[in-house]
């Protein structure tokens, strides 16, 4: 789980940093970052599935990462950046759908995981649900949507990095 969190944190942080420091805060840039982030997270999940070092159940690996990969490919194939009028609508729908589906899968995973991972999965799910509700129901313009998307990416990246850096219970017992 640690390697998975490090990779997700890395890709979320790259997306957040790009959006925060970019001069262009249009919906098209948000969609491009969404494409990068979802495909990168999905590809990292697939690569971890074939790693013999990691002991990750296939179901645990492919639920959030599989959702990311499918949404990234759909956005990449459909390429809503060509139609300037609908870019904001697509960004809002894609981010809300991504955040909601990943939050639901993480809530489900939190019921069947280690005790120390359950709280972190629920925190991540709460961030996703708040983001999904905001993108689904708030009247956002392109600047606000990209800003909130970058905030979601940054908060998720930090939460995942802290989770990956926190020692597990067996590591705590060995160091005493």
Look up residue 36 and give its two tokens: 């990068």
**CA–CA gap between residue 5 and residue 13 (Å, rounded):** 12
Coil, helix or strand for 41?
helix
**CA–CA gap between residue 68 and residue 33 (Å, rounded):** 13
Q: Is the pLDDT of residue 58 over 60?
A: no
153's CB contacts (< 8 A; 6+ apart) are 12, 13, 15, 16, 19, 33, 37
Q: What is the pLDDT of residue 17?
A: 92
Q: Is the pLDDT of residue 54 over 70?
A: no
pLDDT in tens, 86-97: 888 888 988 998
Work out the average pLDDT over 100-114: 83
Q: Which residue has the tokens 């262009």?
A: 24
């Amino acid at each position: 789980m640690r390697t998975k969190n490090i990779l997700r944190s890395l890709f979320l942080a790259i997306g957040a940093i790009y959006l925060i420091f970019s001069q262009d805060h249009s919906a098209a840039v948000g969609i491009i970052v969404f494409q990068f982030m979802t495909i990168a997270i999905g590809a990292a999940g697939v690569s971890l599935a074939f790693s013999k070092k990691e002991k990750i159940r296939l179901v645990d690996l492919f639920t959030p990462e599989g959702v990311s990969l499918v949404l990234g490919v759909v956005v990449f194939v459909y390429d809503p950046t060509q139609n300037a009028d609908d870019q904001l609508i697509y960004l809002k729908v894609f981010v809300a759908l991504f955040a909601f589906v990943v939050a639901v899968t993480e809530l489900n995973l939190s019921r069947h995981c280690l005790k120390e991972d359950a709280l972190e999965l629920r925190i991540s799910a709460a961030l996703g649900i708040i983001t999904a509700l905001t993108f689904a129901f708030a009247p956002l313009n392109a600047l606000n949507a990209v800003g909130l998307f970058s905030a979601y990416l940054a908060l998720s990246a930090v939460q995942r990095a802290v989770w990956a850096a926190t020692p597990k219970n067996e590591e705590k017992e060995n160091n005493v």
